[in-house]
Structure 1
Amino acid sequence: MLTVKCGRNEYDLDATDEIKFNGACYQLITKKQWNESAPILAKAKAEKLIKSGDLVFSREENSLGVNLKIYKPKSE
């Protein structure tokens, strides 16, 4: 399990969680509440997690002409 901090909150990520990169920011799309926007992970922290291998590329989607990269935590 991977723990990341977004703003004042900490989130525990498992293999079912997804992080979306839309070219500008990394969003925890599976931790979105019904009345809130998706938590945003700091770009430098996300890139550090990708480089260390804790986040792995899952798939690429195309939404309204924008390529979205989806990452998942490394499954143990």
Structure 2
Amino acid sequence: MELAPHRIRVNSIHPTHVDTDMIHNPAVYSLFAPGVPGADRETAAASMKAMHALPISWVDPVDISHAVA
């Protein structure tokens, strides 16, 4: 509503974690599995899943693109 007078519309989708390189890398794995040497995708999955109400750790990018299209 704040930007409507300027003819700007803002839409945003915030599903959960999205299965991309942005979350699948050693730096992020170590954030989600602190103190676990060599944390990997499987190690971080449980922590990622616990952060939201969906029964999955992350969604596929195509799921997001279908929501927008």
TM-score, scaled to structure 2:
0.24
TM-score, scaled to structure 1:
0.22
Which structure: larger Rg? 2
